[in-house]
Amino acid sequence: MVPIKSKKALSYMRTFDQQCRILDPLMDEDLAIAMKIYYKTRRPDLDESLILDLLQGRVYKNDRAIKLKYVEHGLSKDDPRVVMAIGPLSRASAVIEAYKALVE
């Protein structure tokens, strides 16, 4: 069974693959992620679950390792993007603080 993805999602996946580096070694402990998704319009069409799936095999071994998600949405017509921080669940506060520093 193959999931059907929209043209926008497939395009996003290709762009993501070009921009996201692969960590070596991949994270494999319980993780916390904080992210802000900047959308082009107020009608968001990208869900964070796609981003979590795309990070699998690049940043962590399995997206089931994500035990805490902190997700915000923003608007940026000229520069839609995702800003994120990922780290061990045991350091969740530090992950969120690092994320906040990135989006300021």
With the C-alpha atoms ordered 53, 56, 57, 58, is the resulting torsion angle positive or negative? positive
Is the pLDDT reported for residue 94 higher than 50? yes
Strands 31-39, 66-75: pairing kind: parallel
> Is the pLDDT higher at 57 or at 6?
57
Residue 8's pLDDT band (cuts 50, 70, 90): confident
Q: What is the predicted pLDDT for the residue at 75?
A: 93
CATH T-level topology, domain 7-103: 60s Ribosomal Protein L30; Chain: A; (3.30.1330)
Contacts 24+ apart (CB under 8 A), 89-96: 89/29, 89/30, 89/31, 89/32, 90/30, 91/32, 92/32, 92/68, 95/32, 95/33, 95/34, 95/70, 96/32, 96/34, 96/70
Q: What is the mean pLDDT of residues 54-75?
A: 96
Contact indicator for 27, 91 with CB cutoff of 8 Å: no
